[in-house]
Amino acid sequence: MRGLMVGTVVTALTLALSAAPAAAGATPVPYLPEPTGNQPVGSTSLYLKDTSRPDPWVPSVPYRELMISLFYPATSANGPKAQYMTPAESAAMLADSGLDAPPDLLSTTRTYSVRDAVADGRPHSLPLVVLSPGYTKPRATLTALAEDLASHGYVVAVVGHTYENMATSFPDGRVVGCASCEVPHDEAFWQKLELGRAADVSFVLDALTGPHPKWRWSGLIEKSRIGMAGHSAGGASAIPAMVADPRIRAGMDIDGTTNVPLTAPGLSRPFMFMSHQLAPTLCAPGNEPWERDWAQLTGWKRWIEVAGTVHASFTDLGLFADQFGVDLGATTTAERTQAITRAYVNAFFDEHLRGRPQPILDQPGDPEVQFCH
């Protein structure tokens, strides 16, 4: 899993876009699956500035700047749909891949959330889930999951970890790149990354639920019902974030190799691992980092593996690859994997943030899913 996080292999998106013109004669427009919940979804972007610490990757910057995307239940589905990412971010990703594609292609991805829609909910009624993307991947790549959670009544904050992806656009027009990509990617690097993301998440929680909230609808958030999930490096950061911040009641790691060992007294709050198929046989031994941390999880815990999947299957990148007809080695389609991911993420947070028992967390409800422990 770490090799895929580092980005030393060609990404799903790179493969998809490079193959598209030959397959179709023109580059098709990417799109996301429709959310499965009953509520319309709104979204907005927030700029946050943490003046209490310098940036971990560019120490000359005496503060930590973050962009986050918020998704939430909305009063109406009518209105202009949110932009998937900015044209500058799309251009940076495509340029990094060396592809001959329209620079703004990814910014045209069709979404379902309404830009800056009026939020719907009673005061202190909506659980909050923080999502963290994989290393070098923009926060936009978790949009399908975020929109789906919001359609089921969650506020979702997707964190853009500055200098850890190809491009971050700020409201003043600045676009910054991946400064951390220039650092040797040894064990110390991954530990620094995960601990830094934990600090980012705590700051985001302060900004959304603290005494001076930065979002106009923050009063809808129920502060005692906060969870976190992430993909790849973002998933690996969930345990350090929970150790550092007791406000996070439940956490989920989707296919991320953990590098900060969980030590005694461990973690007693609910936690779940979800991985792609790592070997010809499901749940084959050998995932030593997860085994190490599993032993220190002392509360409710689950570990599942999804047959026929690859690392990118759980994100929007896997969806785009399938849309462009590119074979990444998965035998389960990305659309099906996205449906499974949405179902288990929703079930996990429904059970642990809302107190609603979910049978699929006790016995697999899908033939592709196997419980490893």
- Per-residue pLDDT, averaged over 25-50, amounts to 93
- DSSP-derived letter for residue 88 is H
**194 with 187: CB under 8 angstroms?**
no
Res. 25: pLDDT tops 50: yes
pLDDT score at 99: 60
Q: Tell me how many degrees the CA angle 36-275-9 measures, rounded to the nearest 5.
A: 105
pLDDT, tens digit, 9 for 90 and up, residues 174-232: 999 999 999 999 999 999 999 999 999 999 999 999 999 999 999 999 999 999 999 99
Res. 9: pLDDT tops 50: no
- DSSP-derived letter for residue 29 is P
Residue 290 lies in domain: 2-371
Residue 364 — pLDDT band, cuts 50, 70, 90? confident
Q: What CATH number does residue 283 fall under?
A: 3.40.50.1820
pTM of the model: 0.94
Q: Fill in the amino acid letter for 214.
A: K
CA 75 to chain centre: 25
How far apart, in Å, do the first and last CA atoms of the chain sit?
A: 19
- Per-residue pLDDT, averaged over 61-79, amounts to 98
pLDDT score at 102: 87
> How many independent structural domains does the chain possess?
1
pLDDT, tens digit, 9 for 90 and up, residues 232-282: 999 999 999 999 999 999 999 999 999 999 999 999 999 999 999 999 999
CA torsion 332-368-136-51 (nearest 10°) is 150
Residue 93 — pLDDT band, cuts 50, 70, 90? confident
